[in-house]
């Protein structure tokens, strides 16, 4: 019944409407991607459930890259600008998108936000999507890479239960790893096994914004992917 947002069955909305919406989004996403490519901005779409720790990841990233890279962020939520405000406090120029009832960002929302920020001088643009393990997976925003935050508190079977999201992920950050000793039923090995079943190229890092575990590895992944994509753009 949500076919028009790409996340439903087609009983009531025609295939035409569905295709029109997604193809319009693809067109806009390609336009965004052209902008990012021309300006040398590395754009990353960060997704995950509500409370998976997306903003905490970006706060830790901002502290680690301060003075080395120019960061900017777009943060989506149904209501409030809490996440953008948190990132601003870490020195990251941020733009909030409040979606009202919408369960995801789309390429047009991102494009609109770009018009209100000095994005083209950035090294990284982090797009923190609406907290949702379903709908954001369907919408290309023009990003270079997709990262999914999955908290250990969410349980081990989420990759199997929400495969659409994990199929799209270039990297899964297993967050709140510091809570693992208090979750006797949860095993990172089982999460990794589930990810291997659904991700085309399974890639996982464990992460804690509290203890700093995994932050080095995350920054290394981020910088190496940015270098690889920059090199590919220059050679094309």
Binding site for its own copies (CB under 8 A): 1-9, 11-13, 17, 20-21, 24-25, 49-51, 77-80, 82, 99-104, 106, 108, 130-135, 138-139, 151, 153-155, 157-158, 160-164, 176, 179, 182-183
**C-alpha distances in Å from residue 218, one per residue of 155, 160, 198, 213:** 22, 24, 21, 10
Nearer CB in complex with its own copies: 29/122? 29
Q: Which three-class secondary structure state does DSSP give residue 214?
A: coil
| Rounded least distance, CB 2 to its own copies, Å | 3
Nearer CB in complex with its own copies: 93/155? 155
| Rounded least distance, CB 134 to its own copies, Å | 4
Task: Produce one character per residue of 115-134: b if its CB has 16 or more CB atoms within 10 Å, e if not.
Answer: eeeebeebbbbbbbbbbbbb
| In contact, 170 and 145? CB cutoff 8 Å | yes
| Rounded least distance, CB 53 to its own copies, Å | 9
The secondary structure of 105-120 as a DSSP string is: --HHHHHHHHTTS-GG
| Rounded least distance, CB 40 to its own copies, Å | 29
Nearer CB in complex with its own copies: 105/122? 105
| In contact, 49 and 154? CB cutoff 8 Å | yes
Nearer CB in complex with its own copies: 7/222? 7
Q: CA torsion angle for 165, 32, 111, 52 (degrees, to 10)?
A: 30
| Rounded least distance, CB 55 to its own copies, Å | 9
Nearer CB in complex with its own copies: 157/227? 157
Kindly state the DSSP code that residue 155 receives in the 8-state scheme: -
């Amino acid at each position: 019944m949500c076919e028009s947002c790409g996340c439903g069955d087609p009983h009531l909305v025609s295939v035409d409407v569905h295709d029109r919406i997604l193809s319009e989004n693809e067109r806009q996403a390609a336009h965004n991607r052209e902008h990012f490519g021309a300006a040398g901005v590395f754009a990353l779409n960060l997704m995950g459930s509500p409370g998976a720790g997306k903003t905490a990841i970006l706060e830790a990233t901002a502290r680690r890259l301060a003075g080395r890279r120019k960061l900017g962020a777009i943060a989506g939520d149904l209501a409030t600008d809490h996440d953008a405000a948190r990132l601003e406090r870490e020195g990251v120029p941020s733009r909030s998108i409040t979606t009202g009832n919408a369960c995801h960002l789309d390429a047009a929302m991102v494009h609109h936000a770009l018009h209100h920020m000095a994005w083209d001088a950035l090294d990284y643009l982090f797009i923190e999507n609406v907290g949702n393990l379903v709908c954001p997976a369907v919408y290309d925003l023009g990003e270079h890479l997709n990262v999914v935050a999955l908290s250990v508190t969410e349980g081990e079977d989420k990759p199997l239960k929400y495969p659409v999201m994990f199929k799209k992920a270039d990297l899964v950050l297993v967050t709140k790893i510091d809570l693992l000793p208090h979750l006797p039923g949860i095993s990172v090995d089982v999460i990794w096994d589930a990810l291997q079943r659904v991700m085309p190229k399974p890639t996982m890092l464990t992460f804690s914004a509290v203890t700093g575990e995994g932050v080095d590895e995350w920054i290394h992944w981020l910088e190496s992917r940015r270098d690889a994509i920059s090199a590919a753009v220059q050679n094309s």
